[in-house]
């Protein structure tokens, strides 16, 4: 089941043509991931401090479908698309919200490796795995 976050496009996120600069979509993906964990009852900082678990991005892709523009209301739908003991992949759908419904702007995916503070691979903490699996079952 995807977790939905919303935001309004800020002027600083656009280029000279008034279109959201392509790299900002990955910033929005990060917003989606942070909110995903928050909805599970955790936050990134808690994972890093209490569990010595960091999730650096090792791969990121994005397929752009339509441009987002200044002041658009945007939704980020975030879900886990794959999970192994030390790897997790998130999928994202970025949508423009308007009175007539929604328009797909982009689809993205990020892959993360679970590491400790010394950047050594480690398993995802069991409590996070169980919470994510429970959410995936609801989908």
* CATH classification number, 3-138, choose in 1.25.40.10, 3.10.129.10, 3.40.50.720, 3.40.50.920: 3.10.129.10
Q: How many CA atoms lie within 13 A of 80 on its CB side?
A: 23
Q: Write out the catalytic residue numbers.
A: 15
Encode pLDDT of 20-40 as tens digits. Answer: 999 999 999 999 999 999 998
Taking CA atoms, 21 is separated from 9, 25, 81, 91, 98, in Å, by: 11, 8, 26, 20, 21
CA distance 103 to 33: 21
Encode pLDDT of 80-107 as tens digits. Answer: 999 998 999 999 999 999 999 999 999 9
Mean pLDDT, residues 71-88 taken together: 96
CA distance 110 to 78: 11
Collapsed DSSP state (helix, strand, coil) of residue 112: strand
């Amino acid at each position: 089941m995807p977790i939905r976050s919303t935001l309004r496009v800020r002027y600083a996120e656009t280029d000279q043509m008034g279109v959201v600069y392509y790299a900002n979509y990955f910033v929005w993906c990060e917003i989606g991931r942070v909110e995903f964990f928050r909805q599970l009852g955790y936050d990134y900082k808690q994972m890093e401090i209490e569990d010595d678990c960091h999730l650096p991005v090792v791969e990121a892709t994005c397929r752009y479908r339509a441009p987002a523009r200044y002041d658009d209301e945007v939704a980020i739908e975030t879900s886990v698309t794959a999970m192994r003991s030390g790897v997790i992949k998130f999928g994202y759908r970025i949508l423009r919200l308007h009175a007539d419904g929604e328009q797909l702007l982009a689809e993205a995916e990020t892959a993360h490796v679970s590491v400790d503070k010394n950047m050594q691979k480690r398993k995802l903490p069991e409590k996070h795995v169980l919470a994510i699996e429970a959410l995936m079952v609801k989908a």
